[in-house]
């Protein structure tokens, strides 16, 4: 079992003919993902490694039955790429693009409300159900199929670090989701936690947050009421100075809120096991999840 | 991106938001010329730096004569202004805003910011004007009136009424306020701002609304569609190493510690800084070379760290995903050859092409300390700082 994507997921890549799009499409296919279509306006009719390329998302969906979209479109056009997919009935939209204007994302977020579509990202590594389906840019081999841990993170490479340490301790993953480092994003910690709580194969969760915003605090309040499975947490940015944007557009302490300390306090209060030493993260998880 | 008050007021004026008469001066002669044009006293002289709390630090003063305008501007231009936002080292004042002084009846607060949890824009207002809005929010949240605006629907008169009645405005001022709020909202949207703030907004003795102060921050992600705003960037306000890094699209922030670090990915970079602190050291910087960095970007990032005089040791932490370890290793070797390494450098690599990367480093003959994992890296950094 897994959440959101599995071996039946039919993936279409928006921006498949670009440098990044091409490289990562090949990586996804090599991992075993069913990539069924690509979309690049003006390049309809061409093929990329045998995958048909279409001018519009609607055409790609109609002809191939794609139900999941992976977006590598540049920032200026990424918001409309998300809306195009949503309009065409795509079930899951994974937006890798970094640097989308905040106002564009605010419009997208409001536009998607009430529609039967799930947006993951933007500015994220994507989502992977190890051994079944990789929809993103994460290195496949660091993952261990079969579960029982679900991983949710606002970061990219920090997620790889955490997953790598889990795998080295023999702890597999059901699904790993990067929800993205932007201030306005699609799927939230809460939605992922809820899905993992209801996934019988998932026995525990890892939640990786960072400074900025209040999504970790919101998640903690949710966990207190609705989550029974054990959770290990980590927060990056204890040493980050206030008022500075730490790489991710969303990683900024503003007006004294969004600090790592406040997040850790809220998480521990809700029963999350917060690990402070990233170097010992794997060992910490092994203990909490009963592998030690 | 931040801009100065005088630049924000220029944008306000352009967009029909009332601001006091005035202009920017780089020396006392210019200040006098502007003051003459204002046709009366008092005149306000305001230091222009990218930091709040200027008034308390002596950066906002009243002049009652031309002599005072000359003296104050002479005093202020060149001075180090220290406020709670500049840090103890302060910031050098290079220009002042010279403005007409107003008879003030009441001070208020007005702001527009994006709300992360609802994805709406929030109009915020308060009768507690002139105060730090964060303090008001923490101590007396009931004094802040908010109107949430869905960006797909835009601003409407009911949003403005909510603010106006919440501020207990008299009927003569409701229309001017609604007009101002609408223009403020449009300015926010048209220029892709991340913050627009008027603190204080004043009601003058002759019953006019006026933005006595103006603060605008822009969304860095959207600067590509506002080439005109780019001209507002003031390099004097930025750290020289940060300017250098921005030339190569590197996410670099200069900090106070002595352990330099270079990492791919913002989250891992922050976590690496935390790890340095946990080991007993202090990070000298934040540097995210990005997921898709080239050897050239890595080379420039490493060079910037090595040229930072306060750096006594370096930790390179790379988890190869899109950025392959062999690409990283080549960049490190290039930078080390060109700049020379005079401090100990610990390298920790994992992920895509890690074997090839390690081989490039060991074949280079450079004196690099390799760490087998993050735990080992932290231990070696700790030794470095002790």
Helix/strand/coil for B133: helix
Domain total of chain A: 2
How far is the alpha carbon of B76 from chain A, nearest alpha carbon, in Å?
26
Q: Pick B255's closest partner by Cβ from A161, A210, A241.
A: A241
Q: What is the CATH number of the domain that holds A250?
A: 3.40.50.261
Gap from B350 CA to chain A (nearest CA, Å): 9
Q: Is residue A60 part of a domain?
A: yes
Predicted local confidence at residue B293, as pLDDT: 75
> Residues B272-293: pLDDT tens digits?
999 999 999 999 999 999 877 7
Cα separation, B210 vs A170, whole angstroms: 65
The model's confidence at residue A256, banded by pLDDT at 50, 70 and 90, is confident
* pLDDT average, residue stretch B48-76: 93
Is the pLDDT assigned to residue B139 strictly greater than 90? no
SS3 call for B316: strand
CB nearest to B267's CB, from A110, A137, A156: A156
Residue A54, pLDDT > 90, answer yes
Q: What pLDDT score does B340 carry?
A: 85
Can you give the pLDDT at residue A134?
A: 98
Instruction: Determine the pLDDT at residue A218.
Output: 96
Q: Does A132 reside within a domain?
A: no
pLDDT for the residue B338: 86
Note whether A57 and A147 are same-domain residues: no
Residue B331: the pLDDT is: 87
Residue B189 has pLDDT above 80, yes or no: yes
User: Hey, is the C-beta of B292 within 8 angstroms of any chain A C-beta?
Assistant: yes
Positions of B annotated as catalytic residues are: 109, 197
What local confidence, expressed as pLDDT, does residue B295 receive? 81
The residue out of A100, A123, A146 marking a domain boundary is: A123
- Mean per-residue pLDDT, B366-384: 89
Is some CB atom of chain A closer than 8 A to the CB atom of B270? yes
- Given CB atoms, is A292 within the 8 Å cutoff of chain B? no
Range of the domain at A45: 1-123
Spatial distance between the Cα atoms of B286 and B261, rounded to a whole number of angstroms: 7
Cβ within 8 Å of A, B 58-87: 85
Beta carbons within 10 angstroms of residue B152's beta carbon: 14
Where does a domain end: A123, A147, A164?
A: A123
**Predicted pLDDT of residue A55:** 97
Same domain (yes/no): A169, A289: yes
- What does the alpha-carbon distance between residue A51 and residue A72 come to, in Å, rounded to a whole number? 16
**A214 neighbourhood in chain B, CB within 8 Å:** 116-117
Sign of the C-alpha dihedral computed for residues A81, A87, A90 and A94 taken in this order: positive
> Using N-to-C axis directions, what is the helix angle for A215-226 and A260-269, rounded to 10°?
0
Contact status of A276 with chain B (Cβ, < 8 Å): yes
Put simply, whether A208 touches B (Cβ < 8 Å) is yes
- Which pLDDT score, from 0 to 100, does residue B185 have? 98
In this predicted structure, the answer to whether residue B191 has a pLDDT above a threshold of 90 is yes
pLDDT one-digit tens code per residue, A163-172? 999 999 999 9
DSSP state at residue A73? -
> What pLDDT, on a 0 to 100 scale, did the predictor assign at position B86?
84
Residue B118 has pLDDT above 80, yes or no: yes
Kindly report the nearest CA distance between residue A126 and chain B, in angstroms. 13
Contact between B276 and A234 using a beta-carbon 8 Å cutoff: no
**Percent share of chain A, pLDDT over 90:** 92
For residue B130, what pLDDT is reported?
Answer: 76
ipTM, two decimals: 0.94
Tokens 């080549």 -> residue: B330
Chain A touched by B286 (CB under 8 Å)? yes
Do A145 and A256 belong together in one domain? yes
Asked whether residue A143 falls in the same domain as residue A284, the answer is yes
How much is the average pLDDT of A186-202? 98
Among the candidates A123, A153, A177, a domain finishes at: A123
pLDDT attached to residue B367: 87
For residue A129, being part of any structural domain is answered with: no
Residue of B241, B271, B323, B328 best to disrupt the A interface, most CBs of A under 10 A? B271
In 3D space, the residue among A81, A85, A86, A79 whose CA is nearest the CA of residue A107 turns out to be A79
**Which whole number is the average pLDDT over B315-331?**
86
> Distance (Å, rounded) from C-alpha A120 to C-alpha A129?
14
Per-residue pLDDT at A230: 98
Confidence of residue B57 (pLDDT cuts 50, 70, 90): confident
Q: Are B386 and B260 in contact (CB under 8 A)?
A: no
User: Are A118 and A242 in a shared domain?
Assistant: no
Q: Does B322 score more than 90 pLDDT?
A: no
Residue A96 and residue A209 in one domain: no
In the predicted model, what is the mean pLDDT of chain A? 96
Across chain B, mean pLDDT equals 92
The answer to whether B351 contacts A160, with C-beta atoms less than 8 Å apart, is yes
- On whether both A109 and A142 belong to a single domain, the answer is no
A190: which chain B residues are within 8 Å (Cβ-Cβ)? none
Q: Tell me: do A156 and A211 sit in the same domain.
A: yes
Q: Look at A148 and B88; give whichever has higher pLDDT.
A: A148
Burial of residue B235 (CB within 10 Å: 0-12, 13-18, 19+) is exposed
Assign B124 a pLDDT band (cuts: 50, 70, 90). very high
**A133 part of a folded domain:** no
* Residue B353 clears pLDDT 90, i.e. is over it: no
Put simply, whether A256 touches B (Cβ < 8 Å) is yes
pLDDT score, position B384: 82
In a shared domain, residues A278 and A221: yes
Q: Do B270 and A251 touch (CB under 8 A)?
A: yes
Residues A107 and A147 grouped into a single domain? no
Q: Is residue A95 domain-resident?
A: yes
Sorting pLDDT into bands at 50, 70 and 90, what band is B140?
Answer: confident
By CA distance, what is A242's nearest residue in B?
B85
CB-based contact, A275 to chain B, within 8 Å: no
Average pLDDT over residues A4-8: 96
User: For residue B313, is pLDDT > 90?
Assistant: yes
Cβ–Cβ below 8 Å for B116 and A208 = no
Q: Is A130 contained in some domain?
A: no
Given A24, A143, A226, A248, which residue is catalytic?
A248
What is the per-residue pLDDT for B261? Answer: 95
Same domain, A4 and A95: yes
CATH number at residue A84: 3.40.50.720
Q: Chain A partners of B321 at a C-beta cutoff of 8 Å?
A: 125, 137-139, 156-157, 160
**Largest Cα–Cα distance of chain A, in whole Å?**
56
Is there a contact between A236 and B271 if contact means CB atoms under 8 Å apart? yes
- Whole-model pTM: value is 0.94
The least confident of A33-47, A245-259, B188-202, B339-353 is: A245-259
- Strand-pairing partners, residue A107, are none
**Residue A240: inside a domain:** yes
Q: Give yes or no for A76 touching B (CB within 8 A).
A: yes
pLDDT in tens, B8-41: 999 999 999 999 999 999 999 999 999 999 989 9
Same domain, A98 and A200: no
Q: Lowest-confidence range among A51-60, B4-13, B134-143, B217-226?
A: B134-143
Tell me whether residue A128 is in a domain.
Answer: no
**pLDDT value at residue B171:** 92
Which residues does chain B have within 8 Å of residue A274's beta carbon, measured at their own beta carbons?
none
* Residue-level pLDDT at B29: 97
């Amino acid at each position: 079992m897994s959440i959101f994507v599995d071996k039946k997921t039919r993936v279409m890549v928006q921006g498949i003919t670009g440098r990044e799009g091409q490289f990562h499409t090949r990586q996804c296919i090599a991992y075993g993902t069913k990539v069924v279509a690509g979309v690049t306006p003006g390049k309809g009719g061409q093929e990329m490694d045998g995958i048909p390329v279409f001018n519009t998302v609607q055409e790609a969906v109609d002809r191939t039955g794609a139900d999941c979209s992976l977006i590598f479109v540049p920032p200026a056009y990424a918001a409309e790429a998300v809306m195009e997919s949503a309009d065409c009935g795509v079930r899951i939209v994974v937006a890798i693009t970094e640097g989308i204007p905040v106002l564009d994302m605010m419009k997208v977020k409001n536009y998607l409300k009430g529609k039967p579509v799930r947006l993951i990202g933007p500015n994220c590594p994507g989502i992977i159900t190890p051994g079944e389906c990789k929809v993103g840019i994460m290195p496949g081999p660091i993952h261990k199929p079969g579960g029982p841990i679900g991983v949710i993170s606002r970061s990219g490479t920090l997620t790889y670090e955490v997953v790598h340490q889990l795998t080295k301790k023999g702890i597999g993953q059901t699904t790993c989701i990067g929800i993205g480092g932007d201030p306005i994003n699609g799927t939230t910690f809460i939605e992922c936690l809820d899905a993992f709580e209801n996934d019988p194969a998932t026995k525990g969760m890892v939640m990786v947050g960072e400074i900025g915003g209040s999504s970790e605090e919101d998640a903690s309040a949710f966990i207190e009421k609705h989550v029974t499975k054990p959770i290990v947490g980590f927060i990056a940015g204890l040493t980050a100075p206030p008022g500075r944007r730490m790489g991710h557009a969303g990683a900024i302490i503003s007006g004294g809120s969004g600090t790592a300390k406040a997040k850790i306090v809220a998480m521990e209060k809700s029963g999350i096991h917060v690990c402070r030493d990233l170097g010992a993260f794997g060992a910490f998880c092994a203990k909490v999840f009963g592998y030690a | 991106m931040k801009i100065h008050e005088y630049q924000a007021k220029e944008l306000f004026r352009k967009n029909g938001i009332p601001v006091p008469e005035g202009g920017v001066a780089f020396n006392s002669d210019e200040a006098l010329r502007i003051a003459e044009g204002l046709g009366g006293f008092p005149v306000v002289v305001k230091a222009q730096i990218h930091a709040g709390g200027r008034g308390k630090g002596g950066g906002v003063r009243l002049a009652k004569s031309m002599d005072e305008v000359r003296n104050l501007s002479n005093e202020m231009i060149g001075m180090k202004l220290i406020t709670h936002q500049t840090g103890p080292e302060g910031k050098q004042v290079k220009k002042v805003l010279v403005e007409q002084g107003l008879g003030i009846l009441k001070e208020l607060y007005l702001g527009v910011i994006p709300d992360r949890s609802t994805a709406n824009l929030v109009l915020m207002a308060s009768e507690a004007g002139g105060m730090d809005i964060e303090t008001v929010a923490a101590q007396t949240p009931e004094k802040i009136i908010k109107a949430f605006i869905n960006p797909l629907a835009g601003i409407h008169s009911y949003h403005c009424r909510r603010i106006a009645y919440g501020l207990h405005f008299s009927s003569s001022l409701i229309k001017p306020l609604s007009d101002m709020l609408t223009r403020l909202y449009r300015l926010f949207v048209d220029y892709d701002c991340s913050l627009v703030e008027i603190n204080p907004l004043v009601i003058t003795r002759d019953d006019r609304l006026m933005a006595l102060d103006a603060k605008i921050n822009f969304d860095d992600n959207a600067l590509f569609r506002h080439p005109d705003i780019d001209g507002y960037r003031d390099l004097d306000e930025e750290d020289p190493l940060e300017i250098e890094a921005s030339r190569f699209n590197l996410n670099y922030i200069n900090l106070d510690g002595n352990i330099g670090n270079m990492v791919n990915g913002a989250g891992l970079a922050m976590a690496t800084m935390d790890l340095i602190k946990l080991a007993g050291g202090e990070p000298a910087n934040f540097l995210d070379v990005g997921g898709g960095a080239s050897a050239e970007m890595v080379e420039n990032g490493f060079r910037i760290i090595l040229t930072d005089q306060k750096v006594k040791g370096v930790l390179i932490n790379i988890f190869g995903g899109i950025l392959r370890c062999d690409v990283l290793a080549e960049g490190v070797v290039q930078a080390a050859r060109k700049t020379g390494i005079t401090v100990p450098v610990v390298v920790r690599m994992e992920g895509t092409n890690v074997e090839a990367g390690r081989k490039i480093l060991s074949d280079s003959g450079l004196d690099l300390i390799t760490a087998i994992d993050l735990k080992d890296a932290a231990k070696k950094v700790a030794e470095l700082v002790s």
